[in-house]
Amino acid sequence: MTGTIEPMPAQIDQQRVAQDLVEQARAEGMQLVGDDGLLTGLTKSVLEGLGGGDERAHRL
C-alpha cells in the first residue's frame, strides 16, 4: 500500500458528510427516500451499528 493516512478530524462535519452522500446518490441515480432510498439504507446501517437492527427501525 502506498500513500499516507490522513489524520481524522477532531469532530465529524455531519453537514459535509450528508452533502457528500446526497451528491453521490444523485450522481448514481439513487432515490433519496423510499424503500430503496439513501435515507432508508443509511438509517438501517446506523441502527444495525447500534445493535438494534430492524426492531428499532420500525419505531422511527
pLDDT tens, residue by residue, 5-39: 777 667 888 899 899 999 999 999 999 999 999 99
Kindly report the pTM of this predicted structure: 0.58
Amino acid in position 33: V
User: Does residue 34 belong to any structural domain of this protein?
Assistant: yes
- Quote the radius of gyration of the chain (alpha carbons, Å): 15
Residues 45 and 55: beta-carbon distance below 8 Å: no
User: Does residue 3 belong to any structural domain of this protein?
Assistant: no
* CA-closest candidate to residue 47, choices 23, 39, 31, 26: 39
Domain count, the chain: 1
- In eight-state DSSP terms, residue 51 is T
Domain residues for 41?
24-57
